[in-house]
Amino acid sequence: MRLLGSINGFKPIFTQNPSKGIMLSFYSTETLPSNPWRDTLYGRISQIGDPKLSVSPVLDQWIDEGKSVIPNTLRSMIRQLRAYRRFKHALEVSRWMSDRRYMILFPGDIAVRLDLIARVHGLEEAENYFNNIPKQSKTLPVYVALISCYAREKYFEKAEAIVQKVNELGFPLTPFAYSSIILLYSKMEQHEKIEALVEEMNVKGVPMSSFTYTNWLNSYAAYPNINEMEKVIKRMEGDPRVTLDRSCYSVAADGYLKAGLIDKALKMLKKSEGLIREDNRKVGYNILFTLYARAGRKDELYRIWNLYKSSKIVYNAAYTCMINSLLKLDDIAGAEKIFEDWESRCCNYDFRIPNLLIAAYCDNGLLEKAELIIGKAIENGNKPVAVTWERMAIAYLKDNETAKAIDALKKAIAGSERGWKLGHIMSSACLEYFKSRGKVEGAEEFVELLGFSDASSADAFERLLDYLSDIKPESNGVNEACEDDVVDNEERDMLDTSNK
Q: What is the separation of C-alpha 143 from the centre of its chain, rounded to a whole number of angstroms?
A: 26
Q: Is residue 369 over pLDDT 90?
A: yes
With H, G, I as helix, E, B as strand and everything else as coil, classify residue 469. helix
Decide if 62 contacts 30 (C-beta within 8 A): no
Q: For the chain, what percent of residues have pLDDT higher than 70?
A: 72
Q: Is residue 21 over pLDDT 50?
A: no
pLDDT in tens, 102-144: 788 999 999 999 999 999 999 999 999 999 999 999 999 999 9
Handedness of CA 106, 141, 97, 25 (dihedral sign): negative
Decide if 118 contacts 92 (C-beta within 8 A): no
Q: Is residue 491 over pLDDT 60?
A: no
Q: For residue 357, what pLDDT band results from cuts at 50, 70 and 90?
A: very high
Q: d(Cα 221, Cα 167) in Å, to the nearest integer?
A: 29
DSSP string, 388-448: HHHHHHHHHHHTT-HHHHHHHHHHHHHT-SS-----HHHHHHHHHHHHHHT--TTHHHHHH
Average pLDDT over residues 345-353: 81
Decide if 191 contacts 219 (C-beta within 8 A): yes
Looking at residue 10, its amino acid is F
Quote the pLDDT of residue 5.
Answer: 31
Quote the pLDDT of residue 116.
Answer: 96
Quote the pLDDT of residue 440.
Answer: 53
Contacts 24+ apart (CB under 8 A), 75-81: 75/108, 75/109, 76/42, 77/41, 77/42, 77/45, 78/112, 80/42, 81/45
Q: Compare 349 and 339 and report the one with higher pLDDT.
A: 339
Q: For residue 70, what pLDDT band results from cuts at 50, 70 and 90?
A: confident
pTM, rounded to two decimals:
0.66
Highest mean predicted confidence (pLDDT) among 231-240, 438-447, 478-487 = 231-240
Q: Which of 24, 22, 48 is nearest to 348 (CA)?
A: 48
Q: For residue 223, what pLDDT band results from cuts at 50, 70 and 90?
A: confident
Q: d(Cα 179, Cα 216) in Å, to the nearest integer?
A: 8
Quote the pLDDT of residue 141.
Answer: 94
Q: Which of 189, 291, 208 is nearest to 249 (CA)?
A: 291
Question: Rounded to the nearest 5 degrees, what angle is found at the Cα of 333, between the Cα atoms of 330 and 338?
Answer: 105
Q: For residue 1, what pLDDT band results from cuts at 50, 70 and 90?
A: very low
- Beta bridge mates, 12: 26
Q: Round the CA-based radius of gyration of the chain to a whole number and report it.
A: 27
pLDDT in tens, 276-312: 754 455 567 888 898 999 999 999 999 989 888 876 6
Least confident of 333-347, 388-402, 475-489: 475-489
In sequence order, what are the residues at sequence separation of 6 or more whose Cβ sits closer than 8 angstroms to the Cβ of residue 413? Answer: 386, 420, 449, 452
Average pLDDT over residues 379-388: 88
Least confident of 230-239, 251-260, 295-304, 482-491: 482-491
Average pLDDT over residues 4-31: 33
Quote the pLDDT of residue 475.
Answer: 34
Quote the pLDDT of residue 164.
Answer: 93
Decide if 384 contacts 408 (C-beta within 8 A): no
Average pLDDT over residues 362-373: 94
Q: Compare 10 and 391 and report the one with higher pLDDT.
A: 391
Looking at residue 250, its amino acid is S
Element (DSSP H or E) covering residue 17:
strand 10-17
How much is the mean pLDDT over the chain? Answer: 78
Q: For residue 23, what pLDDT band results from cuts at 50, 70 and 90?
A: very low
Q: Compare 464 and 471 and report the one with higher pLDDT.
A: 464
